[in-house]
Amino acid sequence: MGVSVIAVYRPKPGMQGALDAEMVGHVPLLRRLGLATAMPSTVLRAGDGSILEHFEWVDHAAIETAHSHPEVLAMWERFGECCDFATLADLPNASTMFAEFEYVDSY
């Protein structure tokens, strides 16, 4: 069983399109490198425009490997150009029961 995570990305002004483009290749790259499982990722949009991504790492060692893999680091750099990394607690609606999000896609 893998490690299921939810990542939150807040697009920088004018960078929503660039973030959307990065999202398409994010988990497929991790899978190609053997770091993410085949479980489909789910991408949602919060009311403030933040993107939530649920996906599954292979294990904790895969997470550690990602932090030193050149392809992953390059991808994260591109993410950093178009968004800020946030937490679930940063989302305005995260404290509501049955928080609502817009479905965007699965990869």
pLDDT tens by residue, 43-70: 999 999 999 999 999 999 999 999 999 9
Topology of domain 3-106, CATH: Alpha-Beta Plaits (3.30.70)
CA distance 3 to 96: 25
Torsion of CA 54, 87, 67, 75, to 10 degrees: 70
Which residues make beta-bridge pairs with 98?
Answer: none
Q: How many whole angstroms from its chain centre is CA 4?
A: 12
- The band of 34, judged by pLDDT with boundaries at 50, 70 and 90, is very high
Any idea where the domains of the chain sit in the sequence? 3-106
The helix/strand/coil state of 27 is: helix
